[in-house]
Structure 1
Amino acid sequence: MKNFYTYLLLVLACVFWGVGFPIAKVGITYIHPFVFAFIRFFAVGILFVIVFRLSVFNLILKLKSNFTYIFLMALSGIFLYGVFFLFALKFAKASDVSLISGANPIITAVIAWILLKENLSFFSKIGVALSFLGIVFIVSKGNFGILYNFQFNLGDLFMLVATTMWAFYSVISKKALKRIDVFEAVCLTAFLGALMFFLPAIVFGNIRNIGNYPLKAWLSLSYMVVFSTIFAFSAWYKGIEKIGASRSSVFVNLVPVFGVITSVVLLKERFCLYELIGGFLVIAGVVLTNTRDLKSVRIKS
């Protein structure tokens, strides 16, 4: 197969992202979410400088000339996404969280349609409706009486907000990456996001206990830094470079699949019928919206 290596990289990226849901849930069992996020993104920034041999001087210049874009990316995609994502994992099943995250391309398409006036075709709108129905099915656990009585799981709602924040990040990134290299952008947003988490980590997270974290906690953090961020990100953009963003975007549908599988295997979570139906609707909606012959939005989740 001509692009076998490229396809393998894209699948691996989705595997590492999907597995990251239960792995992160293990980590925040022992580490306060604010501390977890601060350490993760600070380490990511350091490793990006080292691995991709980025010039610190050049990074400072890029930050000064693109501060508004980088600040908004860090605020939406690192800080706000990180807060709601990590607290979602504290209150909800990792499998539910991963399924809700699968709707990110749909939410991104809607935001881009509203803010950037990008075209959303008739079939794309049907896809949006399908994915929205899937989210409702997951949040309600298949019982629509929960919606009527407003008895939602707090973690599910947190993940819905987190997914929306990542969608805003995706839309902002699309404009920002016309002005700055993608690896420089990720490095700077990681550092700025870590800075945003620093004070909350001190005030609420008791970061002084960092030396007492168990091995499980450090393994979880290491996985999120090295595999779920550095490797997955590099593999993903290598795939986009080889076969383009449109064809690569199809692979995003694998993320919630691997998230659910590993949540069941690693955390012994029970996979329910409502998750199967809701997950199918979400993924079907994303596939329909991202059909190649439709003129629609295609941004990585």
Structure 2
Amino acid sequence: MKLHKGHIYLMLAFSLAGTSVVTGRSLTGALDSFAITITGLGLMLLCLFPFFAAKTLHTIRRLQKPDWAALFCQALFGIFLFRILLLTGLPLTSTAEAGILTGAAPAITALLAWFFLREPLSAKTALGILCTVTGIILLQNNHLTNAALVWQHTTGNLFVLGAAACESVFNVISRKQRRKDESAKLPIQPLIQTMLVAVAAGMLCLIPALWEKSLEALWSIGWQEWGALLWYGLVITALSFVCFYEGVKYCDAYTTAALSGLLPLTALLLAVLFWGEAMTYQQWLGGLLIVCSILLLADQKKSSTTADDFT
């Protein structure tokens, strides 16, 4: 039951995270990357901190140096580098292609989990990840064969791939921290952890945002841009991170890697709906494989080393 709960939380987390591609595309024309990130984080903290100030301060007082180091790394890779690389790459490539390229995260996460966490890889989990990776290849292949591979376009794709790698590092760091929290008497609550990570990421973004000198542009943007910034802060950051932190309590890193395939699938579907970008039968087949990988994991029991485990 807890594993199904973890699946639901992770599916929701990655689906919401997938909206960052379309949301970012709608903001990049009006604001620079650091301004978008720090404003979204600021709106989130402004809305949530007054209600959770006491719990947050209580948590801060009992955190130790390793906890702060883990939170800083999550802020660095999960918010700061991920969003900066994604928002930098978006203007240089298509929305759909950027969403698809974030699908490199499952394979990267699985590799990092095996190498650093030494988590056993079951046959069913491996098949789920294989379906995800195959789906990503099918989704991407149409663009690789038809897009004009100019330098600017390739550079944009590399930025997005870098964002996917940062997402993978964030997944593994979060899973490793959850291992420690499972034995802790007072583990950090997901919402409090999200707020602390957001504060750290905001501090990383502050100086670059001031250097960009684009914060003054906030006064000239319209209600649609402000709505997108609120979505960025409250949904893409707060809600998706809370769901993610709650989900990784019950799922291993390989399951997390496979379910992260929902991020590029969501991004692609939203690009079709809101930006009118076409999908081919090959891309639909790739999306179906990603869904199949989720179904393969739906009835999987909590991982333990069994006869079909291999490393």
TM band (smaller chain): 0.7 to 0.9
Between the aligned partners of 2:114 and 2:148, the Cα distance in structure 1 is 27
Q: What is residue 88 of structure 1 aligned with on the other side? A: 89
Q: What is residue 49 of structure 1 aligned with on the other side? A: 49
Contact 2:77–2:167 under 8 Å retained in 1: yes
Change (3 A) 1:226 1:251: same
SS in 1 for 2:29: helix
| Greater Cα offset, 192-201 or 130-139 | 130-139
Q: What is residue 40 of structure 1 aligned with on the other side? A: 40
Contact 1:78–1:193 under 8 Å retained in 2: yes
Q: How many matched pairs?
A: 292
Report the Cα offset of residue 223 of structure 1: 1.1
Q: What is residue 214 of structure 1 aligned with on the other side? A: 222
Q: Which runs of 5+ in 2 are unaligned?
A: 182-186, 305-311
Report the Cα offset of residue 113 of structure 1: 0.5
Which amino acid is 2:29 matched to? T
Q: What is residue 188 of structure 1 aligned with on the other side? A: 196
Change (3 A) 1:149 1:203: closer
SS in 2 for 1:271: coil
TM-score by length of 1: 0.76
Deviation string, structure 1 residues 175-220 (Cα, Å, up to 9, x no partner):
2233451333221211111111112112225223321222221111
Report the Cα offset of residue 125 of structure 1: 4.8
Report the Cα offset of residue 286 of structure 1: 6.5
Contact 1:102–1:253 under 8 Å retained in 2: yes
Contact 1:77–1:169 under 8 Å retained in 2: yes
Q: CA RMSD in A?
A: 4.0
Change (3 A) 1:295 1:145: farther
Between the aligned partners of 1:65 and 1:294, the Cα distance in structure 2 is 28
Change (3 A) 1:197 1:25: same
Q: What is residue 21 of structure 1 aligned with on the other side? A: 21
Deviation string, structure 1 residues 260-290 (Cα, Å, up to 9, x no partner):
2222121222223453344445555666678
Deviation string, structure 1 residues 143-177 (Cα, Å, up to 9, x no partner):
46989999963333322221111111111112223
Q: What is residue 76 of structure 1 aligned with on the other side? A: 77
Change (3 A) 1:240 1:138: closer
Residue of 258, 269, 277 corresponding to 1:261: 269
Identity across matched positions, percent: 21
Report the Cα offset of residue 236 of structure 1: 5.7
Between the aligned partners of 2:6 and 2:289, the Cα distance in structure 1 is 28
